[in-house]
C-alpha cells in the first residue's frame, strides 16, 4: 500500500436551498475541489460519490454518473456508496483504498444530500430507513428516540447530565458562527439549550443535528505525486471502516459504539499514533450525546468521563483538544451523504492552517469520525501535515 495525500478540497455552503437541486450542489463542490487542486475533469481517473437517500429525497437514481457527467468527468468508473450517515466517510475510505492499492492516481470523492425538498415528517421517515425498520422502526422508534435511550442510559451509568450535553450544543453553535459554510451561524446560551423544545426526553431540539442541503469534495493522489498539484497536501496517515450489530438490542452496552472503538484502533495503528497524539477532531455529533460518547470511544478520555471533559472546557476551540471546530453536524449542518467528506475538508483546512477565525492552535494531526445509523457503521480517519 502506498502513501496517499489530499491535494484538493471543495464545499458548498450547508443550509436549506429551495432553489438548488442535488446535482448542482454536487457539481459546485466538485468543481471547487478540482480548482483547488489545479486539476481538469479529464485528469480524474475515478469518481466516488457518498449519498444516502437521493432516490427517496429527490426521486433520482444512478447518481454517480449523473453528477460526474455534470462536472465533465466521463469514461472512468463512477460509483455511489451508501452507508447511512457514514456514506461520505465510506466513499472516502474506498477511494483511499483505490489510490493506496495503485489502481488509480487521481480520484475525486464527493458527498452530497438534498434533504429539504421533503417535509420534516417525511425526512424522519426516510432517515429511519437507516435503522432497523422491521424491529425498532416498527415499534415507532426514530433516531431521536434511539439516541434518547442511549443518552438516558449514559446518564444512568456515568452521571452524565443534560447540562453537559447542552454545553456541546453551545460550543458547536459558537464554532459554527465562525464558519462561512455553516447552516446555522447562531450563537446560543446554555439557558437556551436547556430550555429548548423537547424532542425525545432528555433530548431537546438543541441536542439534535440539522436537516440540511449541501455537498463536499476532496481529491486524492499518491503522496509521491502531491507536489504536482496546486493544493497544499495533507497526508492520510490512517483510516479504517468497521461495522457492528445493526440494532441496539443486539449490543452488550449501548453507551459505547464498538464499530468506533474498532475503527479507531485500526486507524491509530496504521498512522503510528495513539489517541493522545490527536490534537483536534471532527466528530459525528448527530445528537449531543454522540459527541460525548465519541470522545470516550476514541480514547480521548476514559469511559464515562466525556461529560466532565466537555464541562471542563477541554473541547473548546481554544481548549487542549478542540472538537468540531466547524460547528459539527449540530450547527454546521448534516446533509447526510456529504457529512463524512465535509469532515475531511475541515480537518484538511485546519492542518493547512487556513481555517481563519476558527483555526485551532495545534493542527499537525487531526481526526474525523463518521458513523452510520446508530453506530452500525463507523469510519475513523487520521490526517497529518506533510
Q: Are residues 175 and 197 in the same domain?
A: yes
Q: Are strands 365-372 and 377-385 parallel, antiparallel or unpaired?
A: antiparallel
Catalytic residue among 33, 85, 314, 345: 85
Domain that holds residue 219: 4-119+212-234
Confidence of residue 131 (pLDDT cuts 50, 70, 90): confident
Q: What is the mean pLDDT of the chain?
A: 97
Total structural domains in the chain? 2
Note if 33 is an active site residue: no
Rounded average pLDDT over 354-359: 98
Question: SS3 of 381, please?
Answer: strand
Q: What is the pLDDT of residue 249?
A: 87
Residues 280 and 373 placed together within one structural domain of the fold: yes
pLDDT(100) > 90: yes
- pLDDT on residue 141: 82
User: CB under 8 Å to 139, separation ≥6 — which residues?
Assistant: none
327 contacts 288 by C-beta, under 8 angstroms: no
Is residue 375 within 8 Å of residue 150, measured between CB atoms? no
Q: Kindly report, residue by residue over 162-179, the tens digit of the pLDDT.
A: 999 999 999 999 999 999
Per-residue model confidence (pLDDT) at position 138: 79
Give CA torsion, residues 328, 329, 330, 332, to 10 deg.
70
DSSP label at residue 286: S
Task: State yes or no: pLDDT of 227 exceeds 90.
Answer: yes
HSE-up of residue 169 (Cα within 13 Å, Cβ side): 27
Q: Is residue 129 part of a domain?
A: no
Q: Do 85 and 146 reside in the same domain of the chain? A: no
pLDDT digits (tens, 9 = 90+) for 303-353: 999 999 999 999 999 999 999 999 999 999 999 999 999 999 999 999 999
Whole-model pTM: value is 0.97
- With respect to residue 134, please indicate whether it lies within any of the assigned structural domains: no
Same domain flag for 369 and 345: yes
The DSSP element (H or E) to which 109 belongs, if any, is: strand 107-114
Residue 284 has pLDDT above 90, yes or no: yes
- DSSP, residue by residue, 56-103: HHHS---HHHHHHHHHT--SS-EEEE-BTBTHHHHHHHHHHHHHHTTS
Report the CATH number at residue 55.
3.40.47.10
| pLDDT exceeds 90 at position 133 | no
254: which DSSP letter?
A: T
Q: For residue 126, is it within any domain? A: no
pLDDT (mean) for 261-280: 98
Q: pLDDT at position 142, please?
A: 87
Same domain, residue pair 188 and 221: no
CB 366 within 8 A of CB 378: no
Q: What is the pLDDT of residue 137?
A: 80
Residues 175 and 258 in one domain: yes
Residue 360 pLDDT exceeds 90: yes
Identify the pLDDT of residue 139.
82
Q: Are residues 150 and 248 in the same domain?
A: yes
Over range 79-88, report the average pLDDT.
97
Q: Which of 334, 345, 363, 384 is catalytic?
A: 334
pLDDT digits (tens, 9 = 90+) for 15-53: 999 999 999 999 999 999 999 999 999 999 999 999 999
Residue 193 inside a domain? The answer is: yes
Digit-coded pLDDT (tens) for 52-77: 999 999 999 999 999 999 999 999 99
Say if residue 182 is in the same domain as residue 114.
no
Do 218 and 351 share a structural domain? no
Cβ distance 108 to 73 under 8 Å?
Answer: yes
- C-beta neighbour count of 65 within 10 angstroms: 17
Cell readout for 234 is 495533507
Residue 363 has pLDDT above 90, yes or no: yes
Contact between residue 300 and residue 51 where contact means Cβ atoms under 8 Å apart: no
Q: Is the pLDDT of residue 134 over 90?
A: no
**155 part of a folded domain:** yes
Reported as a pLDDT band with limits 50, 70 and 90, residue 140 is: confident
286 catalytic, yes or no?
no
Residue at 17 is within a domain: yes
What is the largest distance, in Å, between two alpha-carbon atoms of the chain? Answer: 56
Look at residue 60 and tell me if it is in a domain. yes
Q: Is the same domain home to 284 and 323?
A: yes
In a domain, 130, yes or no: no
Tell me, yes or no, whether 110 and 185 share the same domain. Answer: no
SS3 call for 324 = coil
Residue 118 above 90 pLDDT? yes
Residues 228 and 239 grouped into a single domain: no
C-alpha cell at 327: 460547528
Amino acid at each position: 500500500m502506498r502513501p496517499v495525500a489530499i491535494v484538493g478540497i471543495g464545499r458548498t455552503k450547508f443550509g436549506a436551498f429551495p432553489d438548488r437541486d442535488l446535482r448542482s450542489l454536487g457539481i459546485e463542490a466538485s468543481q471547487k475541489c478540482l480548482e483547488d487542486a489545479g486539476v481538469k475533469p479529464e485528469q480524474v481517473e475515478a469518481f466516488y460519490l457518498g449519498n444516502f437517500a437521493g432516490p427517496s429525497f429527490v426521486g433520482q437514481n444512478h447518481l454517480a454518473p449523473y453528477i460526474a457527467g455534470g462536472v465533465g468527468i466521463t469514461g472512468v468508473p463512477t460509483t455511489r456508496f451508501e452507508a447511512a450517515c457514514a456514506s461520505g466517510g465510506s466513499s472516502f475510505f474506498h477511494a483511499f483504498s483505490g489510490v493506496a492499492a495503485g489502481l488509480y492516481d487521481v480520484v475525486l470523492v464527493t458527498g452530497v444530500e438534498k434533504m429539504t425538498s421533503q417535509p420534516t415528517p417525511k425526512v424522519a421517515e426516510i432517515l429511519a430507513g437507516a435503522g432497523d425498520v422491521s424491529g425498532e422502526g416498527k415499534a415507532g422508534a426514530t433516531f431521536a428516540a434511539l439516541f434518547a435511550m442511549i443518552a438516558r442510559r449514559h446518564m444512568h451509568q456515568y452521571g452524565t447530565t443534560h447540562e453537559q450535553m447542552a454545553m456541546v450544543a453551545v460550543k458547536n453553535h459558537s464554532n459554527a458562527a465562525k464558519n462561512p459554510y455553516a447552516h446555522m451561524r447562531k450563537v446560543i446560551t446554555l439557558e437556551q439549550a436547556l430550555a429548548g423544545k423537547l424532542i425525545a426526553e432528555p433530548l431537546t431540539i438543541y441536542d439534535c443535528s440539522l436537516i440540511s442541503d449541501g455537498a463536499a469534495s476532496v481529491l486524492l493522489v499518491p503522496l509521491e505525486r502531491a507536489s504536482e498539484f496546486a493544493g497544499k497536501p495533507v497526508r492520510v496517515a490512517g483510516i479504517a471502516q468497521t461495522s457492528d450489530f445493526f440494532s441496539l438490542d443486539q449490543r452488550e452496552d449501548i453507551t459505547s459504539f464498538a464499530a468506533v472503538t474498532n475503527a479507531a484502533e485500526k486507524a491509530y495503528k496504521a498512522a503510528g499514533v495513539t489517541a493522545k497524539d490527536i490534537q483536534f477532531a471532527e466528530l459525528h455529533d448527530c445528537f449531543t450525546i454522540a459527541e460525548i460518547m465519541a470522545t470516550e470511544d476514541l480514547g480521548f478520555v476514559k469511559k464515562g468521563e466525556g461529560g466532565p471533559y466537555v464541562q471542563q472546557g477541554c473541547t473548546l476551540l481554544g481548549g487542549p483538544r478542540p472538537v468540531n471546530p466547524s460547528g459539527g453536524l449540530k450547527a454546521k449542518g448534516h446533509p447526510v451523504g456529504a457529512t463524512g467528506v465535509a469532515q475531511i475538508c475541515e480537518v484538511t483546512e485546519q492542518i493547512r492552517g487556513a481555517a481563519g477565525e476558527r483555526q485551532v492552535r495545534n493542527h499537525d494531526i487531526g481526526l474525523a469520525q463518521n458513523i452510520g445509523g446508530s453506530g452500525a457503521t463507523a469510519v475513523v480517519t487520521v490526517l497529518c501535515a506533510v
